[in-house]
């Protein structure tokens, strides 16, 4: 599949089939995240894969949407602030940027395999950290529900026009 087709195929899935995700597909998705670039190649990330019903129930308590409960897998992408590169001029921590790049790789690989995902950032991060027993320097950045989309049709993307977002030479 061409990249242009893949980025069109990837969208935020908010309803999943109960079909389990095959382990080889899950491993391919995680491998794509592992191969993502990061600042100074520090790779300041951890991915916690939740599939067991009792653990999914704990994660469901961090984000109260019914559709979220339909995903058979939830991947919690975490930033390791003890490993991340910090820009010397202003101390900017690259951890969240690096994790976002890895998540993008993960979601595109999932789409290529016929799986659906959705970035979830509006969740109770403290409760999530407690449920996953995260040390203080590990921050849950996003939760990625993963599974087979319940709907077959890919919705049309609503995006700004290029001329609304591109500036040449200066703002």
Token pair, residue 107, equals: 């979601």
Domain ranges, ordered by start, for the chain: 3-157
Percent of the chain with pLDDT over 90: 98
| Dihedral sign (CA 166, 102, 114, 58) | negative
For position 158, what pLDDT does the model report?
A: 93
pLDDT tens digits, one per residue of 7-18: 999 999 999 999
CATH code of the domain made up of 3-157? 3.40.109.10
Question: Which residues in 82-127 belong to E strands, given as ranges?
Answer: 116-117
Single out the residue of 38, 9, 5, 36 nearest to residue 110, CA to CA.
9
For position 149, what pLDDT does the model report?
A: 98
pLDDT tens digits, one per residue of 53-97: 999 999 999 999 999 999 999 999 999 999 999 999 999 999 999
Average of pLDDT values for 17-29? 98
Average pLDDT over the chain, rounded to an integer? 97
Question: Which residues in 57-96 belong to E strands, given as ranges?
Answer: 73-80
Percent of the chain with pLDDT over 70: 100
Token pair, residue 32, equals: 């794509």
For position 1, what pLDDT does the model report?
A: 86
């Amino acid at each position: 599949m061409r990249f242009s087709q893949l980025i069109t195929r990837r969208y935020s899935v908010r309803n999943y089939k109960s079909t389990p995700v095959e382990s080889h597909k899950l491993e391919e998705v995680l491998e794509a995240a592992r191969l993502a670039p990061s600042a100074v190649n520090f790779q300041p990330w951890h991915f916690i894969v939740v599939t067991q019903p009792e653990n999914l129930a704990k994660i469901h308590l961090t984000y109260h949407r019914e559709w979220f409960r339909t995903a058979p897998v939830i991947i919690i992408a975490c930033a390791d602030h003890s490993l991340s590169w910090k820009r010397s001029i202003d101390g900017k921590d690259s951890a969240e940027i690096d994790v976002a790049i890895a998540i993008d790789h993960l979601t595109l690989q999932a789409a290529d395999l016929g799986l659906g995902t959705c970035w979830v950032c509006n969740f109770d991060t403290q409760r999530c950290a407690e449920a996953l027993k995260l040390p203080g320097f590990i921050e849950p950045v996003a939760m990625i529900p993963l599974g087979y989309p319940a709907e077959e049709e890919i919705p049309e993307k609503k995006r700004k026009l290029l001329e609304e977002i591109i500036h040449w030479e200066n703002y």
